[in-house]
Each structure stands twice: as structure tokens, then as C-alpha cells.
Structure 1
Amino acid sequence: MKNYMHLLLIVGLVVLGSCKSKTESKKASEELPIKVQGKEVAYATDSTNLKGYIAYDMNSNEKRPGVLIVHEWWGHNDYVRRRADMLAELGYTALAVDMYGDGKLAGHPDDAGKFAMSVMTNLPEATARFNAAMDLLKSHSSVDGEKIGAVGYCFGGSVVLTMANSGADLDAVAAFHSGVQLPVMPNDRLKAKVLVCNGADDPFINPESVVAFKGALDSINADYTYLSYPGVKHSFTSKEADANGKKFNLPLVYDADADEKSWASLQQLFSEAF
């Protein structure tokens, strides 16, 4: 009997130690700091090689929503990669996409306009490039493929809105300082919640196009928010806007307040959509 009780005591201590170890291990895992891993990725359509950048918290083992980010008309640059890192810090896996091919960048507005136009006037190829990025994002080990959003800046905003209006399988889309006179306007194929954040004094955005865009959304009872910031001009989320505006004599102006408020609205959009 004495030996039996001794054996029970040993077993109990082993079980207790095991449970404690698992609890401590889980606790340690939960307390790991965010560690953003960002790396370049290569992917392609049938006709175009593309160079993207993916960012995620490598200290988290949980599946999380994935977010596509489409660049301004300058191309896939450091700015869009910084935004990917910022989204990774919030707990998403973000893929900064390449809509021009081969990571091509524009050094002058004339080139940027040509690059952007070549995409927006060839919707089948634009869709193929967007879908190739989405497939890559969904296949990443950290991503819950049932929860996908898209964010776009300037040209990129027009791209994500057009893709959503074309029926892309997106839960939410957000466009910043984006034109809304689109090759595909809102229609009953739109599935996503929509957020648009624009400057009220952005000369690149025609007021009549905003009325038409909102009217199309209202006609299908879309779930959308359109925010217009008084006194704010184009490219207000980019700290490079002032320098580019002066260099090329364009109405590009960074606005810290609008940048902060629009980023908060994006976080609210994703918290509701996911």
C-alpha cells in the first residue's frame, strides 16, 4: 500500500509538471513580441513577370487575414512596402503587389501616367496580375484564405475598386486619394465592404465622378463609406508627396492629420470585415 501511494504521488507530480510546462510554453508563445518578416517574392501571369513584397508577423502561428496593397502610379516602391510592414504589425499578412511588371518604377509623372494607363486600358491583363497576387497571398502559410482584403493608393485605389466591382472575392477594399471614375463601376458583382478616403481639395478627383460613384453604390445598397477631408489635396498619406509636388509642380501635399484619420478608418474597416 505504501509503495502504491508513493507511485501515485510520483505520477501526480509528473502530470502537474507537464501541465505547468505546457501552460508556461503557451504563455511564453502568447507574449512573444511582434517580429515582422518582410521579403521579396516573385510571381507571374502568362505574359508578365512580377515582383512583390510580403510582410507578416513571424512570431505568430495563427492563421490571419491577408491584405493586398496596390501601389501609386509611381510603381512598386518603398512606400507601398512600408504600408505592408505597418499592416503586418497590426496582425495581417500583407502583399505589396506589382501591377507594372518586373518591379518597374516611374521617375517622372509622364512615365507614371503611361504605365498606369497601360494597366487600366487592358482590364484582362490587369485582372490577371491582380489575381496572380491574390493566389500567392492565399497560398502563404500564415493566411486564412477565406479572409482577404485589398488596399490601394492613387492609381492603386482605382485598381482595387475596379477589381472589387468586377466581382473579385474580397471582404473589404480601401482606396486612398483615388480616382472613382472607373472602367468598371459598382454593380451587383461587388461583394466587398468599401472605404474611400479622399482629399476634398484634390484637383485630380472630379466632383461629378464622386456623385456618379456614390450613386452607383447606393443603387445596389452597397456597404460603403466615402470620406472627404476638407483642405486636403492629392497623395496626402505619403510623406514624399511634398518633395514630389515641388519637383514636378503638382498639387501633391502630405497631410499628417488626414493620414492618421484615414489609417484609423482602415483599421475599423478591417475589424468589421474580418
Structure 2
Amino acid sequence: MNQSVSKSPRHGVRALRARILGVAGAALLLAACGGKGGEGAEEPAMDPNAEMVGKDMGAMDESGKPMAAIDDIDMDGIVGEEVAYEADGITMQGYLAYDENADGKRPGVLVVHEWWGHNDYARQRARMLAKLGYIAFAVDMYGEGKNTEHPQEAGAFAMAAKSNLEGARVRFEKALEVLASNEHTDVEDMAAIGYCFGGGVVLEMARMGVELDGVVSFHGSLDTDNPAQPGQVKASVLVLNGDNDPYVKPEVVSAFKEEMDAADVDYQFVGYDAVHSFTSPDADRYGEEHGLPLAYDEEVDRASWKAMQDFFNQIFAD
């Protein structure tokens, strides 16, 4: 499996170039998950001059066995609890996951859902984090647990949230409070991960200076109307991107890195030979049903999950 890696000057830099796949139906998902788009948005075009660099060996654990993908984790001992909470006068439906056999406090991790809304995919990721020894909270960014499997509805939900970043911050920080209030949570070690829409959300929260040790974006949007400012970003940042994702163009990747460098953000950027939604087993079905350029890639799913684990080991060791 091919991958490419870029890091902030603190880590050193490797060049990243991306190939972009031309697709139908790009404008809708581009607007909601890929950044600035909407009606009249230009469809992604193939970059004939781009190339991939590097060979990934990160999908193995210390014993040489493949890292677990989403469907093959032993969840023995993992507890999941429905949590209703209030934000902006709206009832939110969250999901808390932890290992009942673990002792003591542990780092807390928020999970921000895809544009589809708070569904079992986000909950499963929370359970997977719990299995790794964290306490995880799958948040609700839309309110009342709203979710859908139709792109038109998902796009409307996501755009409403993206158009009101201050409101999104209120909802995000309320979820962070819920997680921090749990007796198992070590409030000195807090992070957030997000997928697609959620990946963009965690990056925006980092830009806005939310108190976190780190954020991880899986195939999330990168562009913003709220660029990071020097000294404002408190979180370390890990971006896990599909280099063939038609919603994240090469110029957007370049602009994101320039933004991070200019603001002196501690960031890492990993590009995989994959398209949008590479971590979601339902991506192929959604893509076929709705004509969207989505595809699950089990190898990249494993590798990106391992990259997240390595990142957490770094930030929580400080």
C-alpha cells in the first residue's frame, strides 16, 4: 500500500503530491465534507502529473500481526451507554464507551460523526477506542441524534452545522464537558477524532483554540474561512487523507500545510492511496446507491487506525 507523509518543521518534512479522481455528483459532498462548494461547484479533475511516494509498513502491530479493522475487534468488557445532554437548548444524543475491566483514569477521546449524523459507525469507533484503553464519547453535532442515509439530507445537516461555527463549538465543548465529567476520564489527556464532516469539525475546533491535546481528521475537509493564527492552536494535529479523494484537491492540501506552517502548528499529514470514506465499510454501498466516489479500503483503514494510535502515544506521553 502506498502512502506519503508530511510533518511540521518540528518533525521534519516529506513532500506530498496527490492524484485526484474525476467523479460525478461531486458538488454536494464537496460542499458538506470537502470544504467550499455547493451549487455550481467545479467537479474534481484528474491531475495527470501527480505521483505517490513511500511504502507503508504501519498496518502491523508489534507482533507483526495486522492491526484490527472495524469489524474484527473483540469487544469483551466494553460498555456502551446512551447519554442525553443539552446544548444550545437542544437535546443531544451521545454515546459513551469504556472498558469496565480497566482500572483508574484514562485519556478521553471525542468521536465526531460523518455527514450522515450520529449513527452506529461513530459508536463502533468509540467502542474501538475503549478497547485501546481510552474512554470515548461519540458526540451529536446535529441534535436529537439525527442521522440519515440520503446525501441530500446529510448535506443539509452538515451545511447547517458548518455555517454556524460558533454554534458548532458550543455543541462540541458541551460534549467535551460530558466526557470530562465522567469519573473514568483523565481530564489532563483529552483528544478528538472525526470522520469526513467530523474530520473538518475537529480541525475547526483546533483552529478556534479549543483545549485539547490533539485532534485526528480521517478523510476530512481541510479548507476554512477561519485560518489558524499563531499561538491560537493548542492541539497537535494529525490529518489522514486519501490522496485520490476528489473532494480534497492538491491546492487545498498545499494551502492547508501553508496555513499550519504559518501558524506554527504541530501537525502531521499522511496521504494514502485511497479515495473518500476509506475507513467506512458502508462506503461502497453508499457510493453505488447514490453515485458518489466513496470506497472502503481495509488496508488503509488498518494503517490509519495505527497512525492514530501512534499519534495518541506521542501526545499523551508528553
**Corresponding position of 1:18:** none
Structure 2 unaligned segments of length 5 or more: list them: 1-74
The question of whether the paired residues in 2 share the 8 Å contact of 1:64 and 1:91 is answered with yes
The residue identity in structure 1 corresponding to 2:246 is P
Q: Deviations over 1:98-122 (max 9, x none)?
A: 0000000123101111100100101
Matched, 1:182 2:211: no
Q: Deviations over 1:172-225 (max 9, x none)?
A: 100001110123222221111111011111101122111111001111222111
Larger Rg computed on CA atoms: 1
Matched, 1:200 2:219: no
**Corresponding position of 1:56:** 98
Identity across the alignment (%): 49
Matched, 1:217 2:260: yes
Q: 3-state SS of the aligned residue for 2:261?
A: helix
The question of whether the paired residues in 2 share the 8 Å contact of 1:34 and 1:59 is answered with no
* Residue-pair matches, total: 241
Structure 1 unaligned segments of length 5 or more: list them: 1-32
Matched, 1:129 2:171: yes
Q: Counterparts of 1:63 and 1:92 in 2: how far apart (Å)?
A: 9
**Corresponding position of 1:9:** none
Report the structure, 1 or 2, having the larger helix content: 1
Q: Counterparts of 1:70 and 1:97 in 2: how far apart (Å)?
A: 6
Matched, 1:143 2:185: yes
TM-score scaled by length of structure 2 = 0.74
RMSD after superposition: 1.2
The structural deviation recorded for 1:264 is 0.4
The structural deviation recorded for 1:146 is 1.3
RCO (CA 8 Å, sep 6+): is it higher in 1 or 2?
Answer: 2
Q: Counterparts of 1:259 and 1:267 in 2: how far apart (Å)?
A: 12
Q: Counterparts of 2:88 and 2:163 in 1: how far apart (Å)?
A: 18
Q: 1:110 to 1:219 in 2, by over 3 A?
A: same
Match of 1:260 among 281, 285, 302: 302
**Corresponding position of 2:29:** none
Q: Counterparts of 2:126 and 2:98 in 1: how far apart (Å)?
A: 8
TM-score scaled by length of structure 1 = 0.86
Structure 1 consecutive aligned stretches of length 4 or more whose deviation exceeds 3 Å: none
